[in-house]
Amino acid sequence: MRFRVCAVLGIFALATAGFAQSPGDTPISGRDIKLLIEGRRIYLKVPAGGEFPLYYRPGGVVDGTGKAAGLGIFARVSDEGKWWVSGDQLCQQWQTYENGKRFCFRLYQRDDGQLSWHRDDGLKGLARIGS
* Least trusted range by pLDDT, from 18-22, 70-74, 112-116: 70-74
| Average pLDDT over every residue of 12-35 | 72
pLDDT at 5: 41
Strands 115-119 and 89-94 come out as unpaired
Bridge partner list, 83 = 92
In this predicted structure, what is the pLDDT of residue 21?
Answer: 53
11 vs 33 pLDDT, higher one = 33
Mean pLDDT score across all residues of the chain: 81
Contacts of 66 (CB under 8 A, 6+ apart): 8, 9, 12, 52, 72, 77, 78
Q: Residue 77 — very low, low, confident or very high, per pLDDT cuts 50/70/90?
A: low
Identity of the amino acid at 36: L
Rounded Cα distance between 53 and 45, Å, is 9
pLDDT at 124: 94
List C-alpha distances in Å: 74 to 8, 43, 62. 7, 20, 22
Report in angstroms the alpha-carbon separations of 47 from 15, 40, 50.
7, 22, 7
- CB count within 10 Å of CB 123 equals 17
Q: What is the pLDDT of residues 35-58, one digit of tens each?
A: 999 999 999 998 878 888 999 999
| C-alpha torsion sign, points 7, 13, 17, 19 | positive
- Considering the four listed CATH numbers 1.10.4160, 2.40.128, 1.20.1530, 3.30.43, the one that applies to the domain covering 2-18+25-129 is 2.40.128
Q: Where are the domains of the chain?
A: 2-18+25-129
Strand 124-129 relative to strand 61-65, pairing = unpaired
Q: Is the pLDDT of residue 88 over 80?
A: yes
> What local confidence, expressed as pLDDT, does residue 51 receive?
86
